[in-house]
Each structure stands twice: as structure tokens, then as C-alpha cells.
Amino acid sequence: MSLPAAERAAPATTTSPSEAGLLDRALALLRGRPLVVLTGAGLSTDSGIPDYRGPTSVPRQPMTYQQFVSGPEEQRRYWARSHVGWGRFRAAEPNAGHRALAALDPTLLITQNVDGLHERAGTSSLVALHGRIAEVVCLDCRTVSPRAALHERMSRANPGWVEEHADVEVRPDGDVALEETAGFVVPACEVCGGVLKPHVVFFGENVPKERVQRCYDAVEALADGGAHAGGALLVAGSSLTVMSGLRFVKRAAQRGVPVVIVNRGATRGDPLADVKLEVGCSDFCADLLDRR
């Protein structure tokens, strides 16, 4: 099975015979096996969404959960920037990597991304570890509502805000590099009047236990004696800097499950990988689909 010609990336390119050998080794290791795939921001860069730790990214600490809940000033600062970024963020389309992974149909795709592009590409078995930026949750009554509806409310409450800041740089989590946010009006929950927050896991929050357990179970099923014994773990586009993703690589290595990491730049999982490749994620995933 392969992607339609219009949706495929060019074949993965390498710069040396040794890198070509690593590519062949990685593809051979993954070919024909049950797969669990873990993706990070590097998979979405070809869709125009910047990442935090890629070769061209600018280091930056995103807002933490503790900052967000500290009071109205921080909440206004977050929403004023995110309101500008959301229009551009939601316009991103799945790229060849997303589509290739959907066609590969892994036993489970675990993503650290909140952009929803795997879902839009048609991935059927998915855990969005950090939630989805397209949803909003009330911190008081826990009502979950569409981000698009809040965006419309914010636009009515802050006419001209998006247009005034149209040229500001977009950041990986959907906000923008905007410092002056005074005067921005943040709507409250329509159900109870409470504080609204994007339905994503901020730094300083914990990933819900049921999501973590589902991912552990999928990795365990790849090991000897598991439901998908003989499988492998593919990591695509994650530096594995935070434990939310690294723990699954550690579990795979502990259980003897082969690990392939595809990421431009070093990752915390490199010492545990059977093969580490520094090639484009979209290219690699399209190659894997072709040779599956």
C-alpha cells in the first residue's frame, strides 16, 4: 500500500553511505511487524507548525499550569496570544507523514501533539497524550466545548485584535510572540461563569492516568507473550525531553521491544534505540509505507 502520488513526500534522502545503511536497517527492522508509533512536534513541522526543540526553533518556556491558574492576568496573557495564533494554527493540514502513518494503521498511535492532524489524516487507533487544542474545558464545572465557538466569542469581545497582530510570530502550542495583552477581554464559561482553559495538558500538569495506562498496555503487547508479540516502537519527531513520551521508550527497551527513533537532533531516548535516524519524518514514514 502507498500514498497517492500527490500526497507522498519525496524518498528520504541521506548524505552518506552509513546513513543510507541506517535507513535500510530501520526500514527492515519495522517491516511486517505490529507497530506502536509515538509522534512529537517534528512530525507537524511540514504542516507549517513550528516545534520547540528542532534545529531551527528558538528556545522558549511555555506557560505552565501553575501560572495559568494563578489569576486573571496570566489567563488574559495566555488567551490574548492564543486567540491570534488559533486562526493560523487551525488552518494547518495533515502532511505526507500524517497520511502515511494513518495508512500504516499501527496498533496504537501515541501523539504528544495537540494539533489534531493525526485525527484529520484518518488515524483510527489514537491516544492524544496532551489533549487537543480544538477543545476548551471549564476549570470549575469541567464542561468541554469546541474551541471554535470560544474563538467566535473572543472575536466579538475583542474586535480587530487578530487583524492588529496579524504579523506576530506563531509558536508551537498555538499562541504567538505577543507581550502587550492589556485590554484583552476573556469570556467566561457559558454554563457556570467559570475559568476556561484549552483542553490540553500544560507543563506542570499530569497526563490522565487512563491515557498513560493505555499506552503502556500497547507497548507491553509488543513484547514476547503479548497480543502483538514481535512488534516494534517507532518514535517520529520527538526529542523525548519530557517523561510523558520517554517512559514508553524506556518500557519498550525494558521488555526487549525494538525501538527506532527518527528525529532531527539528539533525543533522550537515543541510548535505548536500536536505530536512530536524522532524516525528515514525512519522508521516512512515506518510505516505510512503500516498503511495508
Mean pLDDT of 87-91: 81
| CATH number of this structure's domain 5-290, picked from the four choices 3.40.50.1220, 1.10.10.410, 1.10.3720.10, 3.40.50.1970 | 3.40.50.1220
For the segment 101-125, what is each residue's pLDDT rounded down to a tens digit? 999 999 999 999 999 999 999 999 9
Binding-site entries: 138, 141, 189, 192
Instruction: Answer whether residue 211 shows pLDDT above 60.
Output: yes
pLDDT at 3: 56
For the segment 173-209, what is each residue's pLDDT rounded down to a tens digit? 666 667 788 899 999 999 999 999 999 999 999 999 9
**Please, which pLDDT band fits residue 243 given cuts at 50, 70 and 90?**
very high
Binding-site entries for Zn(2+): 138, 141, 189, 192
DSSP string, the chain: ----GGGPPPPPP-SSHHHHHHHHHHHHHHTTS-EEEEE-GGGTGGGT---SSSTTPPP--PPBHHHHTT-HHHHHHHHHHHHHHHHHHTT----HHHHHHHHH--SEEEE---S-HHHHHT-SSEEETTEEEEEEEETTT--EEEHHHHHHHHHHHSTTHHHHTTTSPB-TTS-B-----TT---PPPTTTS--EEEEE--BTSPPPHHHHHHHHHHHHTTSTTSTTTT-EEEEES----SHHHHHHHHHHHHTT--EEEE-SS--TTGGG-SEEE-S-HHHHHHHHHHT-
Mean pLDDT of 18-43: 93
**Please, which pLDDT band fits residue 6 given cuts at 50, 70 and 90?**
very low
For the segment 253-282, what is each residue's pLDDT rounded down to a tens digit? 999 999 999 999 999 999 999 999 999 999
Q: Which residues, at least 6 apart from 77, have a Cβ–Cβ distance to it below 8 Å?
A: 63, 181
Can you read off the three cell numbers belonging to residue 213? 495506562
What are the domain boundaries of the chain? 5-290
Contact of 44 with 51, CB cutoff 8 Å: yes
For the segment 33-80, what is each residue's pLDDT rounded down to a tens digit? 999 999 999 999 999 887 655 444 444 567 899 999 999 999 999 999
The pTM assigned to this predicted structure is: 0.88
Does the annotation count 130 as an active-site position? Answer: yes
pLDDT at 61: 67
Say which of 118, 130, 151, 199 is annotated catalytic: 130
Instruction: Answer whether residue 219 shows pLDDT above 50.
Output: yes
For the segment 119-167, what is each residue's pLDDT rounded down to a tens digit? 999 999 999 999 999 999 999 999 999 999 999 999 999 999 888 877 7
